[in-house]
Structure 1
Amino acid sequence: MSTTESANTHEFKTEIKELLHLIVHTLYSHKEIFLRELLSNASDALSKVQFEALTNDNLYDKDQPLEVKVSIDKDNKQLTIEDTGIGMTEAQLISQIGTIAHSGTKKFINELKENQDKAKNPELIGQFGVGFYSVFMVADKVTIETKSMEADAPAVRWESDGLGTYALSESERRKRGTAITLHLKEDESEFLEKYRIENLIKQYSNFLPFPVMMEEEKVNTPEALWRRNKSDITDEEYKEFYKQVGNAWDEPSHWEHFAADAPVQFTSVLYVPKSAPYEYYGQDQEHGLKLYVKRVFIQDDCKELVPKFMRFLKGVVESEDLPLNVSRESIQNDRVITKINKVLTKKFIDGLKKMAEKDGDKYQEFWKQFGRYIKEGVHGEMSLREKLLPLLRFYSTKQVDNPTVTLKSYAEGKVTDQKAIYYAVGESIEQLRRSPHLEFFTRNDIEVLLLTEPMDDLILNGLEPFEELKFINVESGDLELPEELKKEIEEPEVSEELTALKEKVTEVLTEKISKVRFSKALSDSPCRFYNESGGMSHNVRKMMFSGGGMAGMPGMPMKRDLELNPEHRFVKALSTRLENESIADQIKLLYHMANLLEGNVDDAQELAGLVLPLLR
């Protein structure tokens, strides 16, 4: 009865024919997924028989080793996946294979049709058991030989070309379990290559709990490191696993291994690389962790598992609670994944806090590589801001060797009646140390944070006061200083000559300057730019609006506010030369000097034209 002639032919129902077509042509993004589906089904069958063996003394073929065998027959263009699992009776075969999605099929087909143009992966719960039919993406005929664990149940053979009918007959198989043989299509010969199959096994099914064998050799690694007890894992094992999951050649900086049972169950190993990845400006960088469900690989860069600012992490997350779409190629937008994200993020941040407290040097190395990501999180993740603020580290006028200043340590070192956390933004620490903006603060022993990344000003300017201290850029027109220090920077009464100079500077630089004022805040420098209106600093305005503009907007004129030091000899000398023919050029030099003191050059050709006559 095992011949085709004696087989009973069954015809799929009309909606199942339609479903088969959709599965083969629209459901899966990558056709090699069929192997993952078959190995996952085999693993499930082995788990079931393993459980039955605990209580069922009449289990058929009880002494068989629990394993999966994958074999290739190049001559006949066949690929076979065989397990020693629970097997199936004829009724079970018809129920589990012969009728796909026997309840809700119509609804499933309609939803699949609606989604196929929107995305490769329709968001449908994987309750229909359709994974087996992915084989018809690569095979034009499939044969199943299965023997149930029930001793008196005959073995069954199932065969179909996936076009509308399947045939059932008695099988000559005597071993418990199931063998699925794919008769591959002419253009699918890649799946007859041993290296290709081995790579797919390692990619998708490496951590199945049972051995996957090829030519008497085990291909997979049944023991998933993240499922083991932390105390049983050596540092070397963690480092080797990092190289495997992170596709890396070096060692990680450190790692966090933790499990959670509430509010959601999952296990994970997170790694921090030694160096930050190189990212192109504006590039949508791939990020995320490897996602496994029941040890089966689902997704390589699962963005939903961590916030974007944690995209530098490598590692693995596994959960048995995750709902998948019907093709099991990606997760659904579900509360479970949101909960995992929250727990992962909290545990990782807590781990960084512990590192900072227990090993300051190690945290310094982390900060130098990944500090910009933490600042990105402070800026973009409002719900995490309070947790991330203690992780921030800064250089300052009192600490220029290493970025060790915290917001808390800054607040503890404030002067009497200080109302703000002051910061300066520039291209380098060396340039900032010589900035005229710092002269007043250095003279009065007020610490200033030194920032060198373009977004720093935008980030700090958007923060709520820390311990009642506002964040103020030192170029601001209103520094909200302690009462006894305000008088030092109030605009002083000056001579008629200096008043006339102020008017002349305003006239000559009308295209470049909005306002001119005198101040005694400066001690060594003749001038500086300041920001009269406060709010968005010049640094941020320049970054967002200069050049080609922002979001297609034309470049905005970058007028500055200029502050003059009435005690500086160059300024005093200018006030005596107002009738001199070269006064306009000398005032322009004053403007360029303010730029140079900030580390910038505006209109290099004009500057060169002003300097050359002086050299002559």
Structure 2
Amino acid sequence: EKKKKTKKVERKEEKFERVNTQVAIWCRKPGTVSHEEYVEFYKHLTNDWQEHLAVKHFHVEGHVDFKGILFVPKQAPFDMFENKKKKISIKLMVRKVFITDECTDLLPEWLSFVKGVVDSDDLPLNISRETLQKSHVIENMKKVIVKKVVELISEMLEGKYKEGTEEDLKKKEEKKEEKDDEKDKKEEDDEELKSEEKWKTFYQQYSKNLKLGIHEDTDNREKLASFLRYYSTKSVDEFTSLDDYIDRMKEHQKSIYYISGESRKVCETSPFLEALKAKDFEVLFMDQAIDEYSISTLREYKEHKLVCISKDNLELEETEEEKKEREGDMARCGKLVSLIKDILGDKVEGVKLGYRLVSSPCVLTTSEFGWSAQMQRIMKSQALRDDSMTSFMMGKATLEINPRNKIIRALVRKLDDIHDSGEASTNEELRSAITLIYETALISSGFSVDNISDYSSKVFGMVALGICEDVDVEAPAPMVEEVPAEEAMGEKEEVEEGEADLEEVD
């Protein structure tokens, strides 16, 4: 049999080689990603030169199905609160396809420092901006993202933050069990220090964001308030939390006391602290401008009302002896109170005896729902402020005088002497003293004097009265050289003879 003729046919087969063999890092399980991979991805995503501070890797299933990685940078952006800045740094992906990085509905403004990637399977690929704004999926994703960031902050605070693969974490635990007790303790101490430094770094960089979150986020307000840290009269060198403050409260103390000011030093030296220090009550120092907004929104924490000690609503418990002293002071200082009110007129809302002072003669307090001195200073510095709103919220301050102060007692005695002598009206010396005391109380209470040149001239006049002899404060006498008594007598006789000669010439 003859063999069949065969023909060779060339056939091309195309084989596809996968170039991108690496799986998207946010699609991998959280326990399979190492610290080095997180660092590499973070630097690629953000173009940051240093490592991230913390990371949250999660996969959510339920009403919304999506994956994500959220990073907290070590350093806050210098333009974080500027209006022209891009408000969000999270990339929205749909099935690993990039959609947008300008979806402002994914995060609230107070979390604008968070960077990362979010990948959803529930959104369509051809989604538009209008659909994103009205999407219920985006709203649910936003709630979950905020919850995850709050969990991350809580882990850093409690020292429970861990990063790396499950194998690496297991190896660390096994090494701890194998090592000696002394080395064990050293390593544990080092880890505690690292976790404390991580939390301190976070709070130093993003404390303003937490306070802004208290002002804006009503759902997480109580949780965010537990993250706040302040200096206080009993914690001068280290931050203290509101929970620690409550643990140190006196048995009969019901409120959390605080004072706001330009700086911690201003708060520490404020005259409003005198009575509270005498009664051993702790006072928190709030020296950031945003504290005024956050505390006015918070109002209370764990059923304890937050009370500003520079306002009228401060109430301190009194003993029966103190109540009797108050009645005696009212009878003794009643005339002085009415006189001060007549002299100051519309400058103050009222004048009353105050018992929040120990050594200072007087202070100025604002109403409970009005602006404090610090808030008034903040609003005055606004370039585009509404003057009508400013004047309405500022109102007038109340002057509280301390009846136990020696200056106030001297004024009472002076006024009694004037009435006993039968003078029809008070002298100008008493009026100028009261005005000077009022203007000085303005400065010590955190307010500003309207006419600073007039006030400075009064202070210089008081200084001149104290250190200069035989000098008229209003019109200073010309400088005269001192002459010995014998030469002065000789000059006087020569002058008298000269005057006699002039009379003879006339």
Normalised by the length of structure 1, the TM-score is: 0.59
Would the aligned equivalents of 2:311 and 2:372 in 1 still touch at CA under 8 Å? no
2:56 corresponds to? 256
Which residue of the other structure, out of 80, 84, 94, is the alignment partner of 1:293?
A: 94
Q: CA deviation at 1:374?
A: 1.0
Match runs of 1:110-125 below 5 Å: none
- How far apart are the structure 2 equivalents of 1:434 and 1:334? 53
| Residue type at the aligned position of 2:200 | Q
Say which is worse superposed, 546-555 or 456-465, in terms of deviation. Answer: 546-555
Cα 1:478/1:283, change in 2 over 3 Å? same
Q: SS of the counterpart of 1:494?
A: helix
Q: CA deviation at 1:496?
A: 6.6
Q: CA deviation at 1:367?
A: 1.5
2:25 corresponds to? 225
- How far apart are the structure 2 equivalents of 1:495 and 1:327? 72
Q: SS of the counterpart of 2:345?
A: coil
In the alignment, does 2:77 pair up with 1:277?
A: yes
Cα 1:468/1:498, change in 2 over 3 Å? same
2:354 corresponds to? 519
1:237 corresponds to? 37
| Residue type at the aligned position of 1:598 | S
Which residue of the other structure, out of 351, 356, 363, is the alignment partner of 2:157?
A: 356
Cα 1:328/1:518, change in 2 over 3 Å? closer
Which residue of the other structure, out of 240, 246, 250, is the alignment partner of 1:411?
A: 246
Q: CA deviation at 1:434?
A: 1.0
1:568 corresponds to? 405
Would the aligned equivalents of 1:253 and 1:274 in 2 still touch at CA under 8 Å? yes
- How far apart are the structure 2 equivalents of 1:482 and 1:293? 62
Which residue of the other structure, out of 414, 418, 435, is the alignment partner of 1:588?
A: 435
In the alignment, does 2:370 pair up with 1:536?
A: yes
- How far apart are the structure 2 equivalents of 1:266 and 1:589? 67
- How far apart are the structure 2 equivalents of 1:256 and 1:489? 62
Q: CA deviation at 1:409?
A: 1.7
Q: CA deviation at 1:549?
A: 7.8
Cα 1:378/1:554, change in 2 over 3 Å? closer
Match runs of 1:20-419 below 5 Å: 61=13, 63-66=15-18, 210=20, 223-279=23-79, 283=83, 285-288=85-88, 289-323=90-124, 325-326=126-127, 331-358=132-159, 359-403=195-239, 405-419=240-254
- How far apart are the structure 1 equivalents of 2:380 and 2:324? 30
Q: SS of the counterpart of 2:15?
A: coil
Q: CA deviation at 1:545?
A: 5.8
| Residue type at the aligned position of 2:150 | I
Cα 1:554/1:354, change in 2 over 3 Å? closer
- How far apart are the structure 1 equivalents of 2:52 and 2:324? 51
1:331-373, CA deviations, whole angstroms, 9 ceiling, x for partnerless residues? 3421111111111111111121121112344223211221111
Cα 1:605/1:252, change in 2 over 3 Å? farther
> Which has a greater percent of strand?
1
| Residue type at the aligned position of 2:221 | R
Structure 1: unaligned runs, 5 residues or longer = 1-59, 68-209, 212-221
1:152-180, CA deviations, whole angstroms, 9 ceiling, x for partnerless residues? xxxxxxxxxxxxxxxxxxxxxxxxxxxxx
- How far apart are the structure 2 equivalents of 1:572 and 1:537? 31
Q: SS of the counterpart of 1:559?
A: coil
| Residue type at the aligned position of 2:433 | Q
Cα 1:509/1:327, change in 2 over 3 Å? same
1:90 corresponds to? none
Q: SS of the counterpart of 1:470?
A: strand
1:226-273, CA deviations, whole angstroms, 9 ceiling, x for partnerless residues? 233444433333223222222322332222222222232222221222
Q: CA deviation at 1:425?
A: 0.8
1:455-493, CA deviations, whole angstroms, 9 ceiling, x for partnerless residues? 323432333543321111112323244465995799553
In the alignment, does 2:458 pair up with 1:610?
A: yes
Would the aligned equivalents of 2:289 and 2:378 in 1 still touch at CA under 8 Å? no
Would the aligned equivalents of 1:419 and 1:481 in 2 still touch at CA under 8 Å? no
Would the aligned equivalents of 2:343 and 2:431 in 1 still touch at CA under 8 Å? yes
1:461 corresponds to? 296
CA RMSD between the two structures: 3.1
Aligned residues: 403
- How far apart are the structure 1 equivalents of 2:219 and 2:255? 24
Structure 2: unaligned runs, 5 residues or longer = 1-11, 160-194, 416-425, 465-506
Q: Using the aligned pairs only, state the percent identity.
A: 32
2:167 corresponds to? none
Would the aligned equivalents of 1:423 and 1:450 in 2 still touch at CA under 8 Å? yes
1:291-337, CA deviations, whole angstroms, 9 ceiling, x for partnerless residues? 22222222224321112111111122122222355568983421111
